């Protein structure tokens, strides 16, 4: 089964109206591989601006959401609000949400369920820290994180799994193509055993962790790497090269 290559640029807490406008202009005029699904995850305050100015061939994602439609939750946004801005994706479980803001597997599972119930696609992030990899428990960690997400998914066609080793995010270190492929392959086996063979074959598993124009081609050549979740490089012209990694 052919899985459509999927590249999401996670702008994190970066940008201004001016710089985002320039980035959008670069994307709108770039020559891109038409066989790639591209999503841009803008800061919440710029979601509507991004959606209104970005070419419709691109999708837009929020970087987070909460577990209820509305209420007394200062600083949070809901899937309903995200949809109201014309945005159809959300990133959940990013390592920065887990390890900087203390979000638990359980909360990420609840967010996944609520986002999917309200019609958003979910880019669900999983990944191990350096001490966990060095301790030989990478699989144990990523399988446990994946299980909580899987327990909250009814329709896998709306889910992209993003494997991002925490030790490779913003550090300049990248998992080798072989390390990435190995974990993606194990994740697919886990889905086959614990969800279904059909889901294992169809769900896209993307790699995140200091992906650059220099590392993307070899990573993209791995048979179970179905795209990228790109941080800092998504704010630079090399993002175009990353989108075109399979071309």
Best CA proximity match to 61, nearest among 237, 230, 242? 230
The verdict on whether 94 is a catalytic residue reads: yes
Kindly name the residue from 94, 96, 114, 128 that is annotated as catalytic: 94
CATH code: domain of residue 110: 3.20.20.70
**Greater pLDDT, 168 or 193:** 193
Q: Which domain holds residue 192?
A: 5-243
Neighbours of 2 (CB within 10 A): 7
d(CA 46, CA 42): 6
pLDDT in tens, 64-82: 999 999 999 999 999 999 9
User: What per-residue confidence (pLDDT) applies to 1?
Assistant: 62
Question: Does 114 have pLDDT greater than 70?
Answer: yes
Average pLDDT of the residues of the chain: 96
Strands (E), the chain: 5-10, 36-41, 59-62, 89-92, 121-126, 159-163, 204-208, 227-230
Backbone angles phi, psi at 154, to 5 degrees: -100, -40
- Give the total number of structural domains in the chain: 1
d(CA 154, CA 145): 17
Best CA proximity match to 226, nearest among 130, 146, 166, 159? 159
* DSSP reduced 3-state for 241: helix
- pLDDT-derived band at 204 (thresholds 50, 70, 90) equals very high
Kindly name the residue from 96, 103, 128, 164 that is annotated as catalytic: 164
Q: In 70-159, where does DSSP find H-type helix? A: 79-84, 95-99, 105-117, 130-134, 138-150
Averaged pLDDT for residues 118-136: 96
pLDDT in tens, 25-57: 999 999 999 999 999 999 999 999 999 999 999
Distance of CA 214 to the CA centre of its chain: 20
Per the listing, tokens 């801005």 go with 85
The verdict on whether 76 is a catalytic residue reads: no
């Amino acid at each position: 089964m052919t899985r459509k290559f999927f590249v999401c640029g996670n702008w994190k807490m970066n940008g201004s109206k001016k710089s985002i406008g320039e980035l959008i202009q670069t994307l709108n005029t770039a020559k891109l591989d038409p066989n790639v699904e591209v999503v841009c995850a803008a800061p919440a305050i710029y979601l509507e601006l991004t959606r209104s100015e970005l070419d419709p061939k691109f999708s837009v994602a929020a970087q987070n959401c909460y577990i209820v439609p509305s209420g007394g939750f200062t600083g949070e946004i809901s899937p309903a609000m995200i949809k109201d801005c014309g945005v159809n994706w959300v990133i959940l479980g990013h390592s920065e949400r887990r390890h900087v803001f203390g979000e638990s597997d359980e909360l990420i599972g609840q967010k996944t369920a609520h986002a999917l119930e309200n019609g958003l696609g979910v880019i669900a992030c999983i990944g191990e820290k350096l001490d966990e990899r060095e301790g030989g428990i990478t699989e144990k960690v990523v399988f446990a994180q994946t299980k909580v997400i899987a327990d909250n998914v009814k329709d896998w066609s709306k889910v992209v799994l993003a494997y991002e080793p925490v030790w490779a995010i913003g550090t300049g270190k990248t998992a080798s193509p072989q390390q990435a492929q190995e974990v993606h392959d194990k994740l697919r086996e886990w889905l086959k055993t614990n969800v279904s063979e059909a889901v294992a074959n169809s769900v896209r598993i993307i790699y995140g962790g200091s992906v650059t124009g220099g590392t993307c081609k070899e990573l993209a050549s791995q048979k179970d790497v179905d795209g990228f979740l790109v941080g800092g490089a998504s704010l630079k012209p090399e993002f175009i090269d990353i989108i075109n990694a399979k071309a």
